[in-house]
A and B are shown apart, each in its own frame.
Chain A
Amino acid sequence: MRILIVEDDELVADALKRGLAQAGFAVDHLATAEQAEAALATDEFDLAVVDIGLPRTDGLALVRRLRHSGSALPVLIITARDALADRVDALDLGADDYMTKPFELPEVAARCRALIRRTRSATSAQLTIGAVALDLASRTVQLHGRALDVTRREWSILECLALDTGRVVRKERLLRAIAGWDEDLTPNAVEVYVSRLRAKLGDALAIHTVRGLGYRLDDPAA
């Protein structure tokens, strides 16, 4: 997985480069939006990590141009500003995620992985989280390379959680995923299926309960 870092601060760029490389990514770094635009036009990347505060053309302008040219490349914006307006701008302009400085390197890696996974699931039928592989087309799960027997509803819950790995998925959403329009299920049903999934997945994947909100599936690599 190849990542382009667009950041003008040497110290930050170097840390990102090393950190993401250690997390298993192939990383390239450029210091200006102009250089980045040229590189993105010719080379293939899976993700761009873009700082907003770039000299001359800023990061938001780069994202805007990228989307304007029809690129669907996932973009993680990094900024030293924390005002809401920036966040809204970034996401409105087509950035996929947003992080403020200072950041923790493992979190940057986790966000990158999640973004790439989400983008790929839109085009590919395969989704891999740690030792678990999901085939979205055939709706089957493999654990450590061996087929795992899951029911239709367990699959639906796992798929929902896997597509939003690292994020809290609300219980209501899981309930909607397993309840057909002719079925009346209580939120307790979600708990039942989640606990069955936990039993089947064992130590391979952790599904955390977030009291009052829902569940979160964690990427063991993060």
Chain B
Amino acid sequence: MGVGIIMLVHTAFGRAEQVARHWAAAGCPLVIHVDKAVPRKTYDAFVNALSDMPDVRFARRHRCEWGTWGLVAATQDAAKIMLNDFAEVRHVYLASGSCLPLRPVQELIDYLAKRPHTDFIESATTADVPWTMGGLDQERFTLRFPFSWRNQRYLFDKYVALQRVLRFKRKIPNGIVPHMGSQWWCLTRQTLSAILQDPERDTYDRYFSKVWIPDESYFQTLVRQYSRQIESRSLTLSKFDYQGKPHIFYDDHLQLLRRSDCFVARKIWPFADRLYQAFLTDQAGAMNRTEPNPGKIDRIFAKAVERRTRGRPGLYMQSRFPVEGRENGLTCAQYSVFEGFSDLFENFEPWLAKMTGMRVHGHLFAPERAVFSDGQTVMNGALSDSAALRDYNPRAFLASLIWNTRGERQCFQFGPRDKQKIEWEIAKDPNAQISVISGAWAVPLFKSNSNFSDIRREAALLQQVESKHLEVLRSQWTKARVRIWTMAEFIEAPMEPLQTIIDEIGQQNLRGLAEVPRMTDLSGFGQFLQNLKNQGMHPYLMGDFPVEHRLNEPQQNQRKPYLVR
């Protein structure tokens, strides 16, 4: 028999026994190590349960706390027993009690028999591995770690900091180069015995016993001294999350595991009855595997890590509520804000909806209610149009709207008549495209039928609000794509800016704008502004309008719909 199994067990003894019997049934001898923290009674019961198996040995028990030397010591003792007691073993496979063989053991035996001199152990230099935790990569080999990371975190951290301050450095013995990798390996008798019988072993043991997480570096480093042929990968499928904890497999992973072509998976939830059933007892089913697709497992777990560390941009929910600056996107998709356009053009909203296929809302932040598209009172996500609800948390309102309508670009009108509390949120959002025709708020006043003194007061107020708003848009914190035209500028050649905006929105409409929005009749607007000036108010945001605003013939020009290009 070629393969011997070393099994490290600390919990779920029923499952460990089941797996041990499975290995043994295929003729693999086992050496089992049980954590010293396990109560005597439990240990005895476990030993007793396996007493009918001739080729099972138990190693001297060590205390195996995560990241400490105990795990290596346990492995060493167990390996010694394995090599002494089972002379026919050629490869030694290190597994844990929560490992589950996915393929028939015979396949593993055959596989290793074909590669009699290959050591399967993940072993990479510290500079080349991305998975180190806590920023300790090279330092884990040059500092001392007498305190437990799990239970004495404060002392652990302080002691590391102290050593850094003192520039303390341990010497790495005999010039070995530290390597790291998964602790689950499969080594040949030659390599393993060379490591265990090395005359310098005491030196190495002393050194590694103070290294942090030696079980991921002891064999990984020393194997480089002796191995004839290293295959730097682990035969055990084991996925780690962002904290370095192994992902756990459950019943619903059955199909995934069937499609992985690994020999052994870890770690399995002890109550995953279907997995144990499928892989341990149902040999026929395990043999009858579908096309292997190990990439799928990778993707699923990589996605889980990404979700935990980066989350879904633009989502605010009960378990994702980022502090300012860490949102990784204030909203989840791009949207457009138009200011002044619906004042200047009579049919701007329906025109825009028709041209671009976007969802075009009215003034979402109007004081009376949120004016959703098509006069709806409730929008996607059951978002209410109530002004009180919206103003209670305008930022949540906007983020929800954009989130709820994923897949459909949103666009809304904004202006100085609206509630301004949202302006910073929009300005800081790289997803926002803001287009402003400054001063266009004067057009509805110009058209209105109010007393002129009221108009004057209103105009002064709106101008003040808008000029503050423009300051925000021009501030250094603004990340939105902002375009600002004065009204005078804009009506000189209205189609060019419109075309630019719509191109940027990136709709399929490549042939240019087939239709133009109808501009409101502005004859007399220059005089209107002059009247405001005469009353002592100074309207400046709309740019320079001559009093006699090309009153007659240029008007004709403007009214005529024309095409750009």
- B is a partner of A: no
